[in-house]
Amino acid sequence: MSEPQYTSSAAAPRHLQVVRHSPDAPQPAPPLPTYPWTARLSSREGDVLRLLAEGQSTVEIAHTLFISPATVKCHVARLIAKVGVRDRVQLVIAAYRSGFVRVD
């Protein structure tokens, strides 16, 4: 088989065009800061944290996830330790501030 024949337009060098942003153009949002604790959460802890941020109680989370209330309390205690906060309220605040849970 022979090598394919290239036309002069296909083999012509290509140049990049510099595009300048106008000062009136909206600037991209700065990236959210990364929080190391978000990578250490198990999937179940993430589920519990999302439901907790929605305002569900321990019993409601247990019914939603088909686990016992004691297991929910255990997950919440582990979350508090991993995130390094004092209580459930600060845990929810940390979830929103980190971007782990987003405001709709």
pLDDT tens by residue, 29-54 = 666 567 888 889 999 999 999 999 99
| Rounded (10°) angle between helices 43-53 and 58-65 | 130
Most confident of 22-26, 33-37, 70-74: 70-74
> What is the pTM for the complete model shown?
0.68
State the pLDDT at residue 31: 61
For residue 75, the number of C-alpha atoms closer than 13 Å in the C-beta half-sphere is: 22
Higher pLDDT, 14 or 81: 81
State the pLDDT at residue 32: 55
